[in-house]
Amino acid sequence: MKIFKERIKLSTEILKNKGLSFIPTMGGLHKGHISLIKKSKKFKRKILVSIFVNPKQFNKKDDYRNYPRTLNKDIKILEKLKVHYLFIPSYEEVYGFKPKKKIYLDKTSNKLCGFFRKGHFKGVVDVVNRLIEIVKPKYIFFGKKDYQQLYLIKKHILKRKIILKVIECETIREKNGVALSTRNLKLMAKEKKIASNIYHYLKNIKKNKENRFDSKMINKFKKKVLKLGADKIDYLENYNIKKMVKEMNINKNTKLFIAYFIGKVRLIDNI
């Protein structure tokens, strides 16, 4: 595996490749990231992974400072998976140039996480846009756990007519049902149990097609989630994933979206 820290050296190296498979990450690699890499192998392209903890998508400085960083462990994982290239840029390497494409931020960026984390999705789309311009991949891989992020990146790529195929990958979960996330590293065993109970409760809500998501029922569901051990809930909504709009009824095009805190750890999921 070749490791690059400078975008110019990386660009020179990958110029000879006819399009790469690209997995952008913030490190703290887990089985979810590994599943993206394994899926990328099926596309018979050289694989490039980036690790960059992007400060512009954090709306709290403490959250950025405390974000889990496990670079040495990450490198070992990537070497074992026989990834071809690893890009570990500094802030200046990512933000020290003017991208050719202006970012497009769909109006749905103000909903759900966008409402509670001001500027978050602008930071996400900006950094992905910049990394795409550096890497110029043929395929880019994202998990469905961060579904709103995936939706907005796809909108940007479509609107800006970027020639690139977005590959959506299923959410990978721990045995207890909790969606894998780098933030899970900050949870104690008893807190993981709380997250597991919340997941199974929401899964049962989703199974009952007669549940309606009016304000009365949503409040009832939220109270139960708090009773199960969540310390705070940012949102719990039923959304149409094709349009990213609220829906009253559960159907094949809807998912339950939740963001909640256990202690200081913020967890998100869609079920």
Q: How far is Cα 51 from Cα 33, in angstroms, rounded to an integer?
A: 11
Q: Say which of 33, 84, 156, 200 is annotated catalytic.
A: 33
DSSP 3-state of 183: helix
CA separation for the pair 218, 101 (Å, rounded): 40
On whether the CB atoms of residues 38 and 154 are closer than 8 A, the answer is no
Whether residue 265 contacts residue 232, with contact meaning beta carbons closer than 8 Å, is answered with no
Cβ partners under 8 Å of residue 167, min gap 6: 39, 40, 43, 139, 140, 141, 142
**Distance between CA atoms of residues 270 and 22, nearest Å:** 24
Active-site residue 33, yes or no?
yes
User: What distances in angstroms separate CA 171 from CA 67, 84, 263, one per listed residue?
Assistant: 21, 24, 24
Nearest to 81 by CA among 1, 24, 170: 1
User: What count of residues does the chain have?
Assistant: 271
Q: CA–CA separation, 206 vs 202, rounded Å? A: 6
Q: Supply the residues annotated as catalytic.
A: 33
